[in-house]
Structure 1
Amino acid sequence: MSTPQNTLTVRSPADLVAAVPYLLGFHPHDGSIVVVVFNNRRVTFVARGDLPDHGAPTAQVQNLAAHLARVVRRQQPITDAVIIGYGDTDHVESHLGTIDRTFTAADVPIRDLLRVTDKRIFSLRCDNPACCPPHGILFDPRTSLISVQATAAGQVAFPDRAAVAARFAPVRGADRDAMRRATGEAITRAAQLRDAGDAAVHEAGARAVRAALRQHDDGKRLGNDEVAWLTVLLTRPSVRDLAMELTEPHDRHVTFWAEVTRRAEHPLVPAPATLLALAAWRCGDGALALLAVEHALAIEPAYELAALLAQALHAGLPPSEFFDQP
């Protein structure tokens, strides 16, 4: 789920399809369903899901459609939506019809139903050959003005979800060996600090978080010892919560937490991965946020903050509702 942060001028179905990868953060694959939500002429929200396999029971499609419709209805104010299915006719068009009926029953007006395949766009709502020829509308996203606008605005569309996840993939080889040694030393140091009491540990964590963010904002890369010490102290919830408060909804802090997540030792990943997810979510990058929080939960399924964030993301809640909670 993504909330667009930049303005792209969409004048046609081809423009909208060209914009989707930049709205999502990656190019959807065949078998994807994308819902683009509008408030009049402004795109306010984008959601993506995986269509069931061809021939799957209708109930599976209905369940997906009902979930997407609930998510869309939470995005207020909205006027209508465009539903885009990616793939061949047999797989996509019957599913689009089911999703259309579910959205209509949920009082979500549908502006258009589009199918995209082989660089062609087909409208299931328009039968005017002047604008929607039977053979589809040919488009090339590489030469689209939308791509030029998005690139100029600093927006990036990764090839797929795997490329998004690669932003926080763990370092390996000599870098991993160095981080393992540094983390062992940090754990020993933290054990000695705990003898001084909880307040001393929290104060050390607060200093580490502030110093790390300041150093990154100054364009300086953290050393292995600094990252190791930070990740060890982030295991204390009060330190992690302070880091959440100090993290700004800015790309530089998304980059910071992605780097810390990459370098953290495996058991220490959940805290920085969750902070990465929170930062990405606040920047409108729902794809990165969801992948990062899933990464945290894969390592520690009971990590409470990550579980709460995953629920909020799947429900399509805006960041303001999550951060405004007492």
Structure 2
Amino acid sequence: MSFSENKLTVRSSADLAAAVPYLIGFHPGDGSIVVIACRDRRIVFAARGDLPAPGSPAHPLRELTAHLVPVVQRQQPITDLVIVGYGAQAHVDAALRAVGDAFTAAGLAVRELLRVTETRIFSLTCDDPACCPPQGTPFDPTTSLVAVHATVAGLVARPGQAAVASRFTAIDGAGDGIRHATNDATARMATLKTAGSAAVYEAGMHAVRGALRQHDDGARLTDDEVAWLTVLLTHRPVRDLAVDLTQPHDQHVTFWAEITRRADERFVPAPATVLALTAWRCGDGVLAAMAAERALQVNPDYQLAALLLQALHAGLPPSAVEQAITSTHPNPSTPSLNTPSEQE
């Protein structure tokens, strides 16, 4: 079995368990469940969810499966699935079987159910002690050849979701400079608005192009440059231009993560959403979802972030949102301006 884009071979359950963090972007904690979709022995998709807490009523697990099944079905054609649960037997096994049964009932072949407990793997579908001993199969994800090859291929497995969020969340006590710079940028924007939408768009075009060029050259933006860029991004055509000019590679993911982390709280939604779409286009669905959630945390009505998050949860490709942006604003220099509270 191999990854669809990176030529990494998975030959055993231990290899698969070592590969999961690279499929989803971080090491899953106890209570996680990961559904891996395969097409002719090639991994094409992975989706993660959280199992209900032990002792929970049945309906949260039904809601989880009701979400996961259609998401995976959209990835057709699929030949079979492997489902991996993380945690203690009492918490995981019954839920893992229920999820497997739901996929089987939906017409999808479940090849294997695996539970990972600390450094051992247990199969719920194989009763051959020669390959699946009752005491589990030991594995060390840090020394696995799959982990080594994944790292060489440029894949990243962060320690957990907190490590993903740390890429774009602000550092406490580091915001005084950006707040002053943003106040100045807001005043500058108010003056620029009097010249009309086309003037704002032109300024935004220069700011976005210049900022990406600086980053590509290895230069770090000043607080004044970050503040001006984030204020200009409140003009939707400028934000959509930023989406268009941003390339789907790690360097630009890093750029928008830094802009989101350094932005004044009021102006986080636009760069966080550009970060989300850029990460998604790079195949990092976890970072994409968390960045979109960050945008909505600041502004629950930020429509593009909400659309992006909905598409991510539905298992749709990034092109679905990109097409929506293009169709919404066919002429980018003419739509009306927005204040921070009216973004989207």
TM range (shorter): over 0.9
Aligned to 2:11: 11
Query: Distance in 1 between the 2:61 and 2:143 partners?
Result: 34
Give 1:193 shift.
1.0
Does 2:292 correspond to 1:293?
Answer: yes
1:199 is aligned with what amino acid? A
Select the structure with the greater relative contact order (CA < 8 A; seq sep ≥ 6).
1
TM-score normalized by structure 1?
Answer: 0.96
Q: Helix, strand or coil for the counterpart of 2:212? A: helix
Does 2:213 correspond to 1:223?
Answer: no
Which deviations, in whole Å up to 9, do the C-alpha atoms of 1:170-202 show, x marking residues without a partner?
A: 1343x4111111111111111111111111111
TM-score normalized by structure 2?
Answer: 0.91
Aligned to 2:63: 63
2:53 is aligned with what amino acid? D
CA contact (8 A) 1:5 1:283 kept: no
Does 2:149 correspond to 1:149?
Answer: yes
Identical residues among aligned pairs (%): 63
Residues matched between the structures, number:
323
Give 1:83 shift.
0.4
Query: Distance in 2 between the 1:76 and 1:55 partners?
Result: 34
Query: Distance in 1 between the 2:214 and 2:208 partners?
Result: 10
Which deviations, in whole Å up to 9, do the C-alpha atoms of 1:124-165 show, x marking residues without a partner?
A: 111111110111100000110011101111221111101100
Residues 124-163 of structure 1: pairs in structure 2 closer than 5 A: 124-163=124-163
Residues 89-104 of structure 1: pairs in structure 2 closer than 5 A: 89-104=89-104
Listed as ranges, the gaps of 5+ residues in structure 2 are 328-344
Aligned to 2:243: 244
Aligned to 1:305: 304
Listed as ranges, the gaps of 5+ residues in structure 1 are none
Which deviations, in whole Å up to 9, do the C-alpha atoms of 1:80-119 show, x marking residues without a partner?
A: 1100010111111110111111000111111100011021
CA contact (8 A) 1:280 1:286 kept: yes
Query: Distance in 2 between the 1:260 and 1:10 partners?
Result: 37
Query: Distance in 2 between the 1:82 and 1:92 partners?
Result: 15
Residues 106-117 of structure 1: pairs in structure 2 closer than 5 A: 106-117=106-117
Query: Distance in 1 between the 2:280 and 2:271 partners?
Result: 14
More helix by share: 1
CA contact (8 A) 1:87 1:116 kept: yes
CA contact (8 A) 1:104 1:110 kept: yes
Residues 62-81 of structure 1: pairs in structure 2 closer than 5 A: 62-81=62-81
Instruction: Please identify runs of 4+ aligned residues in structure 1 that moved more than 3 A.
Output: none
Query: Distance in 1 between the 2:277 and 2:288 partners?
Result: 7
Aligned to 2:323: 324
Q: Helix, strand or coil for the counterpart of 2:78? A: coil
